[in-house]
Structure 1
Amino acid sequence: MTADRYDAIVVGTSQGGRFLPVELARAGGRVALVERGPLGGVCVNRGCTPTKTMVASARLAHQARRGEEYGVGTGPVSVDLAAVRERKRSMVAGARQNYAGRLDQDGLELIKGEARFTAPKTLDVALTGGGRRQLTAPVVVVDAGTRPRPLEIDGAEDVPVLDSTSVMELGELPEHLIVLGGGFIAVEFGQMFRRFGSEVTLVQRAPRLMTAEDEDVTDEATAILRDEGITVLTSATPVRVEQAGGGPLRLAVSLPDGERRLEGSHLLAAVGRVPNTEALTPEEAGIGLDDRGFIEVDEHLETGVPGVYAMGDITGGPAFTHSSYDDYRVLRARLVEHRRASTRGRLVPHAVFMDPQLGRVGLTEREARAQGRDIRVARLPMSAVVRALETGETRGFMKVVVDRDSGRILGCAVPGSEGGEIMTMIQVAMLGGLTHTAMADAILTHPLFAEGLTTLFEMFDD
């Protein structure tokens, strides 16, 4: 089969892959964009757009139940999960349509099918509608993303196990949802379904939730979840699961004090994600993988094969949509603008969309101390922020880590109302090189949540 020649081939259409092929085509190239599934990748179809839409529904249900605290009568609150699902589907459909409209560009060809390498810069595509095509180009960019890690415990293959995609397609509310995992996905879905009305149990292997965060941050998040009626089991290892005759799921969990059996109606595995590299047969191209199966790239996102690049979650870097978009920035500079850009030293923030939000950027206190840095730490409870008192959103705190000598901000964590937005203000201050005294002396609008920053930067622990 003769290979069709292009100037560039992009495999996958996530946040980075949605923009880069358009820019390459606008620059005069003939570009092939290969996608085996719905346009938009994880973010549009299975990640940010659908989950945050459902989180919004869950928050509204929670706020409605709190009406009496504010002098507002609401009556009994019920959740129609099928209607929540339809709202989610509508949002996803709109995002896909918006995405498709961006691809209407001369020189850009969308090819629906699954690609695999047969040589360093040659791909075989099994077309969705049948048949095959061979494609080749001097530049190939892989943006194929990740998928949920399958559950590997005894009995898992014999019972229905939900993942972060299938759980959003439920049309009826689980009576008792058991969530395996303690990361961002587990926390967001656990709180969401508790607010919808399900009984929820989180089962985390590690000694605490969200282990990348400082202990005081995860302690606060755990307390918030428990206050809402979620059972949180830590240092808990799932051993086996079974279901007899359509009855309840029975999960055996190993705890420090012995084995415990849990009964639930549904089981959600949120135990991590794995890269979509197998079907790509990267070994045929000489592309190196790390020990977890992620594509190895340098700071310019180039693999060990010159002219072959990778971007987004499949590189094993920070698995955030905004990181993928920044990968696009790096590759646009290299491939379109013909200048060098790098991922080295970039400041990557993140937010956990539990409620209240957790926003974080930069070093944690634990990381800074492990590096031997001389630091100061400031912490302010949200109950000391006027806006939090007025709105009844007093859970959580603001925390910042500062270099003692220079006064520069090294990082922050804000588990509290509007935590992501407040964190972003601190991130901008970090990017601008502001010191803690500049932040403490700033005039911030009263009464906003962010007004608490002026007080925060005066609350150092020494």
Structure 2
Amino acid sequence: MKQYDAIIIGAGQAGVPLAKKLAAAGKKTAIIEKRFIGGTCINDGCTPTKTLVSSAKMAYQASQSAALGIKIKKFRVDMPAIKKRKDEIVHQFRDGAQNGLEQTKNLDIIFGEASFTGNKTMSVQLNDGGESELKAKLIFINTGAKTFIPDVEGLGDIDYLTSTSILDLDHVPEHLLIIGGNYIGLEFGQMFRRFGSKVTVVERASRIVSREDEDISEEMTEILEAEKINILTNSTITKLKKKKSGKITATITTDREEHNLKCSHVLVAVGRTPQTEALNLVKAGVKTDERGNIAVNSKLETNVKGIYALGDVKGGPAFTHISYNDYTIVYRNLFEKEDLNTNDRPIPYCMFTDPQLARIGLDETEAKKQKLNVKTVKLPMAYVARAIETGDTRGFMKAVVDPKTKKILGATVIGEQGGEIMTILQMAMEGGITYDRIRYCVFAHPLYAESLNNLFIAIED
């Protein structure tokens, strides 16, 4: 049994920087990773998908270039080259993260799968064979989440795709059927439509991105349908069957009417589930909720003192930046004597469709549910000078404000550079800058940000 001061299970966006910080603080540290350093973000999430999104956007811009007076007669999507570029960037990021760990003194990297054997003891099945027994006073779980696989008849009989396996495609699917009309499904749907696939999105709810305001959902639907993406809402897939020809027949129920649809590939994108099964948390006495998420308090500590959970494995907002912030909270509390918690921290996010969908704080729906006295303002991108000049006026900016305090309570942006525009408003919210100040703020012309003047001028005080 090898003794450590601290053990980190999972080398994701919280685990890697935490391991380096702990080791630098003089703690004898081990980080255990069953697959690749960098976690979902670098290997299967942000890095590869946004690389592919960039290639897809280039294809889209080429197809739309005539509107700007540039006539491109013909272009070809080279999927093997697109995949090669994506793989190279992933390896660059992954290798950089691993090299950083390897160069850290007082830190052991262990490749294998960990399972608790007792309160703060564990066994690791090593990837290169054998087994290792470890223990530590401090344990940090950063094992992340994986694709949730729904119970659909015949799904196990086809070679369905997940957000991980679809990244390995070196060809363009003829017809991609996507189960799920939220962030992951829509990013991949638009991406592969631009690469040349026929795309159908099947969503159980009455609208896509159903967690957003209705007008946001309507705008996103209009944008995607303009690219000839077929969106079926109030729909469920009840059966999948693979034909001898290799084609797949999906039986879909829409508004109680059943019909069949033929496709070449199926992507499952209905959500994520925490990777806790193999951990044998019962042995450690660590509690989970009914979905398998590790239960933590506002300081990210489990019910067992000295054991923490960070990132997607604890449920809640499944974003890389939240995982990283979890690390900063835990480390600063333990080693810099801070008293930080996760209560009321901002949850910004951005869906990297084109245009982007970005949000911070309250939306109009939540404000109404809370019966708050608010005003909502909206500015179509068609009224934004920069959007007109660049030839992309899809989407709008929207903000929820308190007319009494003049504070910005939340904002949602669909538009080119939507994430960057949202972040400006987040900074204003964090710094207490009120909308009446932004209304007359001097921004450089002609930026997208400049139109925040016009957004808030619309409010009648």
**TM-score interval, normalised by the smaller of the two chains:** over 0.9
CA distance in structure 1 between the aligned counterparts of 2:333 and 2:427, rounded to whole angstroms: 26
The aligned counterpart of 2:449 is 450
CA distance in structure 1 between the aligned counterparts of 2:212 and 2:58, rounded to whole angstroms: 27
CA distance in structure 2 between the aligned counterparts of 1:42 and 1:393, rounded to whole angstroms: 32
The aligned counterpart of 1:413 is 412
Note the C-alpha offset of 1:340: 2.3
SS where residue 260 of structure 2 aligns? Answer: strand
CA distance in structure 2 between the aligned counterparts of 1:244 and 1:460, rounded to whole angstroms: 58
List aligned pairs for 1:308-387, cutoff 5 A: 308-387=307-386
TM-superposition CA deviations, 1:47-85 (whole Å, max 9, x none) = 000000000000000001111111112221221111111
The reply to whether residue 218 of structure 1 matches residue 217 of structure 2 is yes
| 1, 4, 20: which one aligns with 2:2 | 4
The aligned counterpart of 1:101 is 99
SS where residue 261 of structure 1 aligns? Answer: strand
CA distance in structure 1 between the aligned counterparts of 2:366 and 2:163, rounded to whole angstroms: 30
List aligned pairs for 1:190-229, cutoff 5 A: 190-229=189-228
Task: Could you tell me which runs of 5 or more consecutive residues in structure 2 were left unpaired when the two chains were aligned.
Answer: none
- Cα gap change, 1:32/1:237 in structure 2, threshold over 3 Å: closer, same or farther? same
The aligned counterpart of 2:132 is 133
For normalisation by structure 2, the TM-score amounts to 0.98
CA distance in structure 1 between the aligned counterparts of 2:357 and 2:270, rounded to whole angstroms: 20
| 2, 8, 23: which one aligns with 2:21 | 23
| Aligned residues between the structures | 460
For normalisation by structure 1, the TM-score amounts to 0.98
CA distance in structure 2 between the aligned counterparts of 1:334 and 1:406, rounded to whole angstroms: 33
The aligned counterpart of 2:281 is 282
| 66, 70, 73: which one aligns with 1:72 | 70
Q: Which amino acid in structure 1 is aligned with residue 88 of structure 2?
A: S
State whether residues 23 and 336 of structure 1, in contact with CA within 8 Å, keep that contact through their aligned partners in structure 2: no
The reply to whether residue 151 of structure 1 matches residue 150 of structure 2 is yes
Task: Could you tell me which runs of 5 or more consecutive residues in structure 1 were left unpaired when the two chains were aligned.
Answer: none
Note the C-alpha offset of 1:338: 3.1
Note the C-alpha offset of 1:447: 0.4
State whether residues 177 and 268 of structure 1, in contact with CA within 8 Å, keep that contact through their aligned partners in structure 2: yes
The aligned counterpart of 2:176 is 177
Provide the alpha-carbon RMSD of the alignment.
Answer: 1.0
CA distance in structure 1 between the aligned counterparts of 2:460 and 2:92, rounded to whole angstroms: 48
Note the C-alpha offset of 1:7: 0.4
Query: What percent identity do the matched residue pairs reach?
Result: 44
Note the C-alpha offset of 1:102: 1.4
The aligned counterpart of 1:58 is 56
The aligned counterpart of 2:257 is 258
Q: Which amino acid in structure 2 is aligned with residue 106 of structure 1?
A: K
State whether residues 378 and 458 of structure 1, in contact with CA within 8 Å, keep that contact through their aligned partners in structure 2: no
The aligned counterpart of 1:301 is 300
SS where residue 6 of structure 1 aligns? Answer: strand
TM-superposition CA deviations, 1:306-354 (whole Å, max 9, x none) = 0000000001021000000100111111222233211111001000000
Note the C-alpha offset of 1:97: 1.0
The aligned counterpart of 1:396 is 395
The aligned counterpart of 1:33 is 31
* Structure 1 stretches of 4+ moved >3 Å: none
Note the C-alpha offset of 1:152: 1.8
- Cα gap change, 1:15/1:352 in structure 2, threshold over 3 Å: closer, same or farther? same
CA distance in structure 2 between the aligned counterparts of 1:205 and 1:137, rounded to whole angstroms: 45
Note the C-alpha offset of 1:256: 0.7
CA distance in structure 2 between the aligned counterparts of 1:226 and 1:134, rounded to whole angstroms: 54
Note the C-alpha offset of 1:88: 0.7
The aligned counterpart of 1:431 is 430
State whether residues 252 and 262 of structure 1, in contact with CA within 8 Å, keep that contact through their aligned partners in structure 2: yes
The aligned counterpart of 1:243 is 242
TM-superposition CA deviations, 1:337-379 (whole Å, max 9, x none) = 2332111110010000000001100011101110111000000
Note the C-alpha offset of 1:257: 5.0
- Cα gap change, 1:305/1:257 in structure 2, threshold over 3 Å: closer, same or farther? closer
SS where residue 338 of structure 1 aligns? Answer: coil
Q: Which amino acid in structure 1 is aligned with residue 127 of structure 2?
A: T
CA distance in structure 2 between the aligned counterparts of 1:460 and 1:250, rounded to whole angstroms: 52
TM-superposition CA deviations, 1:212-239 (whole Å, max 9, x none) = 1111111101100000110000010110
SS where residue 71 of structure 2 aligns? Answer: coil
TM-superposition CA deviations, 1:430-459 (whole Å, max 9, x none) = 001111101101111110111110000122
CA distance in structure 2 between the aligned counterparts of 1:342 and 1:105, rounded to whole angstroms: 28
CA distance in structure 2 between the aligned counterparts of 1:246 and 1:18, rounded to whole angstroms: 46
